[in-house]
Amino acid sequence: MEITMIILSLVLLMFFAYRGYSIIFFAPIFAIIASIGGDYAFMPVYSEIYMTKVAEYIKVYYPVFLLGAVFAKIMEDGGLATAVAAKIVSSLGKERAILAVLLGCGALTYGGLSVFVVAFVMYPFSAILFRQAGIPKRLLPATLWMGIFTYAMIALPGTPQIQNVIPTAFFGTTTWAGVVTGLIGSIAYFVLGWAWISYRHKRLAAKGETYGSHTVNEPEPILENLPHWAISAFPLVVVVGVNLFMSNPFHWSWAYHWNTGSLEPLKPLKLSLLSPSVDRIQSIWSINIALVIGSLSGIVIGRKRLTASGGIIKPINSGAYSSVMAILNTASGYAFGSVITSLTGFVIIKNALLHLNIGEGPLFSAIITTNIMTAITGSASGGLTIALGMLGNEWLSWAQSIGMQPEILHRIICLASEGIDTVPHSGALVTLIAVCGLTHKESYYDVFMLTLMKPAVAFICLWIYSLTGLA
């Protein structure tokens, strides 16, 4: 009975998410449905498990969502993101249109802009470039996805995106964890996207297919009065540089060192959600400071356009409002997964996933589990948080028992989160396809083919680590 209700609740969540219903509203309902027939009454499940897990997630990660969204809006409204994107696209030209889009998306994503803002900023340039180069527009969603949501979001060491921040709270790592593995994964994702889309372009061109006749969301980017691209890129560099200095992943003597005893005075207050140690929270503190300084530099550089478009209050308010929806969506998915994994009926499934292994260590189990959860939720961050909430402590204990560095666990799980997340009901994918003015029927084939290939990246990195021992 319990297993049946758990499976039913998961199917219902996928179905309703695919149909566009709010996960914020339906996740607690389906969490309660999953608990039917179990040991818990439905109201305690809602108030004491589900809502507690929502509160935990928001407490830890909301500052990153908030400051990241405000920074992105400042870069967008100030014209800075547009100036950087335009420079990359114009420098490479239509002859290297696919490469230009992949690099442009990656630069903005790694610089700390919200992935959705990157999609809105890069789409106009990408569509015009594809039109000039005669590349079918139906390849554009797959190209944008591989540029925004893969190598720069979860693979490159130091990326300030939330998917790379989440494991730090579980493992006490930094966003620079697993440098070697991250670089290998970044190259693998980049080459995979570039190779497949280039191959498809050649095949379609041989059949005589070009950009096509499209009327929905056909762009004309506004390029007047933009700040110089080099100055515009400065806040992006600031975010990466300050994050590196503050988190100090390589233990440089000249970089910042957080006071490991700074939480001690708070312990007598018996705060229910107090972090267990500075190691578990310092990476998030570092990202927050980097985003604040990056935002301030963006305000100074983009002040003319910001003043002309309504002042600094506009991007601050807009970013703050959008961050609330983003954090609630992700926290709802996390809380739903936490309810599922707390049920006695899930113990069998949990044990089966935990004991999946090839060779020593938890990496194989982590890859499979994370891919399953991202496929269910259609979200890299949602699947990642559910997988870590379910088995993160067990994976860490397993790794420590065999002398495995938590940094490799951090990076492998990040890589695995960008595997089967591009299912049809993925909220980010639905948004991206809509931004491009296309439909699933027109553009999903190439996304689907890449979905089948992307999980190989995590396994390739696992294989290389097992051969070399380099994290």
Provide, rounded to the nearest whole percent, the portion of the chain with pLDDT above 90: 59
Establish if 307 belongs to a structural domain.
yes
DSSP state of 49: I
* Max CA pair span of the chain: 72
pLDDT of residue 303: 92
Tokens of 410: 């951090």
Q: What is the pTM of this model?
A: 0.87
Establish if 121 belongs to a structural domain.
yes
What residue type is assigned to position 241 of the chain? Answer: G
pLDDT per residue as tens digits for the range 80-119: 999 999 899 889 988 899 999 999 999 999 999 989 889 9
Mean pLDDT of the chain: 90
The DSSP annotation for 377-393 comes to HT-HHHHHHHHHHHHHH
Establish if 20 belongs to a structural domain.
no
Sign of CA dihedral 353, 357, 362, 364: negative
Instruction: Return the closest-CA partner of residue 235 out of 92, 84, 102, 371.
Output: 84
pLDDT per residue as tens digits for the range 118-149: 998 899 899 989 998 999 999 999 999 999 99
How many structural domains is the chain composed of? Answer: 1
Establish if 434 belongs to a structural domain.
yes
pLDDT of residue 358: 73
What residue type is assigned to position 92 of the chain? Answer: L
A 10 A CB-CB count for 463 gives: 13
Is pLDDT of 42 > 90? no
Q: Name, in order, each residue with C-beta under 8 angstroms of 67's C-beta and a sequence gap of 6 or more.
A: 287, 288, 291, 292, 295
Establish if 201 belongs to a structural domain.
yes
Establish if 16 belongs to a structural domain.
no
Establish if 221 belongs to a structural domain.
no
| CA 109 distance to own-chain centroid | 10
Establish if 129 belongs to a structural domain.
yes
Answer for the pair 254, 263: CB distance below 8 angstroms, yes or no: no
Determine the structural domain holding residue 449 and report its residue range.
Answer: 52-210+227-257+278-468
pLDDT per residue as tens digits for the range 357-373: 777 789 999 999 999 88
pLDDT per residue as tens digits for the range 193-244: 999 999 999 999 999 999 988 878 777 766 777 889 999 999 999 999 999 9
Sign of CA dihedral 321, 322, 328, 334: negative
